[in-house]
Structure 1
């Protein structure tokens, strides 16, 4: 099991979770952040600092956002395990699930 970042992160990307992550497993896409399921050590440090309450333990991910668990896994199926987001840098694109979400009112 791992943690998953869901829809409330889209177009917010506060990054407090990145600062708290002790293993550098949170990667930045153009519109949201993703937790690498193989690099996450399930410490939970990211969850309480998320200002939009977008981070869930995989088993606790609300059904309405279940596609984000699959999307996160698929992002890293393509990327592999580069050994941390600092090494990899920002992702070139978001998963199609994220790209399909319309921007929130007042946000680009």
Structure 2
């Protein structure tokens, strides 16, 4: 089962995880990252790199985040979403947004 990115990433978009991914399976949108499940080899090296603990194994995703499994798969192939292979600065105000839990309504697709 692949790893996925959950709600905690919205409005933060930290990219520390991107640098360690051996399969280059992260895809970037305007204010969120996803993991392409077709490329993820379940290695988990990205998990400890996320400062907001947004990356989880899809088989262990909390019930309130379960829809992010399908969302990662869909957005990984969405027009305008691009593979990201190197570190970029986090979003403006990421420190504030890292403390906010209910951010789904802010997701830009």
TM-score, structure 1 length as denominator? 0.72
Give the CA deviation at 1:78: 4.6
Q: Which has the higher contact order (CA 8 A, sep 6+)?
A: 2
Extract unaligned runs of 5+ from structure 2: 86-102
Give the CA deviation at 1:72: 1.0
In the TM superposition, what whole-angstrom CA distance separates every residue of 1:43-95 from its partner, at most 9, and x where no partner exists?
1010011000000000111111111111111223556xxxx9259xxxxxxxx
Pairing of 1:13-24 with structure 2 (within 5 A): 13-24=13-24
For the Cα contact (< 8 Å) 2:25–2:83, is it kept in 1?
A: yes
Give 1 or 2: higher helix fraction: 1
Give the CA deviation at 1:12: 0.4
Q: Which runs of 4+ in 1 moved over 3 A?
A: 76-79
**C-alpha root-mean-square deviation of aligned residues, in Å?**
2.3
Distance 1:75 1:21, change over 3 A: same
1:102 pairs with one of 91, 106, 109: 106
2:50 and 2:26 mapped to 1: Cα distance?
A: 12
